[in-house]
């Protein structure tokens, strides 16, 4: 057998399905996982679908010490006509490989990633929830498996994909949230790892998220790490402003994560003829436009929520109420179009969706 051929070992001990109305996010996992290994001699090899199972690691394994990991996040959807759809998965492969490159991790071939993912989904297809708004969250990740405490890239890695049926992000309809403008903590800075989906970027934000929660806000507005002036992201989402009929989003500046939802929204707006610009935007510019009553909508974008309207910014003692805490028309239209394409309800003129056929590739 070729070392590139995917082997499949099915569980003999399937788990009970969770209640589709109480899935939450990333709490339940399916019966199987995809794994492949890397070493210098063999490259990425031994791709396999195996029963979902623990990973056993020596305590000196590098993953516990120096954080050389990358991950991705995407979803599979059950369409009304019974198909299984992925949304632009090749963009996740590209981003994973950009993350790998920043972290000195060997890149993964698109074909190896996608065929592994599709085989895994075929095996666990009946785990995809079908209730409105639910989906199958896909978490590919890479960890270093070398046992050694030297501070240097590992010589061996594991690539793993796990699947989690997840609930609707908006069981009671889209709900604009309050956002705390963060001036003390920094998520990422030019020259750092902000453009990569790597573990250390996420725990670095917990302190600011705690401050936001304690002040009653749902998320953090991240400013640039250098001047603490320019808007970067909101929580783990990209951010868009509609000001005077024009849509603005922070340009990719070397510290912002390049969201696939962000990219898709820019393409949609262009298709619709709505002016959209990627440029620097400072919080001061927002405040000025706000005072002149030119701010129409603000929303975050990401795989989990798709669109998350911002109802309010809090900066020190000032509150900036946006669109009277209502979801704006553009936010609504974008949400419906993207989720419509993702779930096959709306014709996909962009060729964004990829079907996972019943068997074979």
165-166-172 Cα angle (round to 5):
150
CB distance 75 to 340 below 8 Å: no
Please, how many CA atoms are within 13 Å of residue 297, restricted to the half-sphere of its CB? 21
The pairing of beta strand 276-279 with beta strand 306-315: unpaired
Please give the residues from 226 up to 265 whose contact with ligand PLP meets the rule CB under 6 A.
233, 236-238, 257, 259-262
Q: Does 315 bind its own copies (CB under 8 A)?
A: no
Which of these ranges, 36-44, 91-99, 126-134, 142-150, lies near its own copies under the rule CB under 8 A? Answer: 142-150
Question: Which whole-number Å values give the CA distances from 157 to 39, 96, 197, in the listed order?
Answer: 7, 14, 17
Measured from the Cβ of residue 21, the count of other Cβ atoms closer than 10 Å reads 11
Which of these ranges, 37-45, 62-70, 125-133, 325-333, lies near its own copies under the rule CB under 8 A? Answer: 62-70
Residue nearer to its own copies on the CB measure, 227 or 293 = 227
Which position has the token pair 């993953």? 63
Residue nearer to its own copies on the CB measure, 49 or 295 = 49
Q: Does 198 bind its own copies (CB under 8 A)?
A: yes
CA separation for the pair 112, 101 (Å, rounded): 17
- Tell the smallest beta-carbon distance from residue 24 to its own copies (Å): 8
- Tell the smallest beta-carbon distance from residue 302 to ligand PLP (Å): 4
Question: Which whole-number Å values give the CA distances from 295 to 175, 246, 247, 285, 289, in the listed order?
Answer: 18, 10, 10, 10, 6
Which of these ranges, 140-148, 169-177, 238-246, 352-360, lies near its own copies under the rule CB under 8 A? Answer: 140-148
User: Which residues in this chain contact ligand PLP in the complex, by CB under 6 A?
Assistant: 73, 197, 233, 236-238, 257, 259-262, 301-303
Residues of the shown chain interacting with its own copies in the complex, contacts defined by CB under 8 A: 25-27, 29, 33, 52-60, 63-69, 71, 102-104, 137, 139, 141, 143, 148-153, 160, 162, 164, 184-186, 188-193, 198-207, 209-210, 225-226, 228, 236
């Amino acid at each position: 057998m070729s070392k590139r051929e995917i082997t499949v070992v099915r569980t003999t001990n399937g788990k009970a399905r969770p209640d589709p109305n109480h899935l939450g996010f990333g709490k339940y996992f399916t019966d199987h996982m995809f794994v492949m290994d890397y070493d210098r001699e063999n490259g990425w090899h031994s791709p396999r679908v195996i029963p979902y199972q623990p990973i056993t690691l020596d305590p000196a394994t590098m993953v516990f010490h120096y954080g050389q990991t990358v991950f991705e996040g995407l979803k599979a959807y059950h369409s009304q006509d019974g198909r299984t759809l992925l949304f632009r998965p090749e963009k996740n492969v590209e981003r994973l490989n950009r993350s790998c490159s920043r972290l000195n991790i060997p890149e993964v071939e698109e074909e190896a990633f996608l065929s592994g993912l599709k085989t895994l989904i075929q095996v666990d297809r009946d785990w995809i929830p079908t209730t409105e708004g639910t989906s199958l969250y896909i978490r590919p990740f890479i960890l270093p498996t070398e046992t050694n405490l030297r501070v240097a890239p590992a010589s061996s890695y594991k690539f793993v994909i796990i699947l989690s049926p997840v609930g609707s992000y908006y069981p009671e309809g889209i709900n604009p949230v309050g956002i705390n403008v963060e001036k003390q903590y920094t998520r990422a800075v030019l020259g750092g790892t902000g453009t990569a989906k790597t573990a250390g970027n996420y725990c670095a934000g917990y302190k600011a998220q705690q401050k936001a929660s304690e002040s009653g806000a749902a998320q953090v507005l991240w400013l640039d790490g250098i001047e603490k002036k320019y808007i970067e992201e909101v929580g783990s989402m990209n951010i868009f402003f509609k000001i005077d009929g024009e849509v603005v989003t922070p340009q990719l500046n070397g510290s912002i994560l390049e969201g696939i939802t962000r990219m898709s929204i820019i393409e949609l707006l262009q298709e619709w003829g709505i002016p959209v610009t990627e440029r620097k935007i400072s919080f001061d510019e927002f405040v000025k436009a706000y005072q002149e009553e030119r701010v129409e909508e603000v929303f975050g974008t990401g795989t989990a929520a798709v669109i998350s309207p911002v109802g309010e910014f809090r900066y020190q003692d000032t509150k900036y109420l946006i669109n009277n805490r209502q979801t704006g028309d553009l936010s609504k239209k974008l949400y419906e179009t993207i989720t419509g394409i993702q779930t096959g309800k709306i014709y996909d003129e962009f060729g964004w969706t990829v079907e996972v056929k019943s068997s074979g590739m």
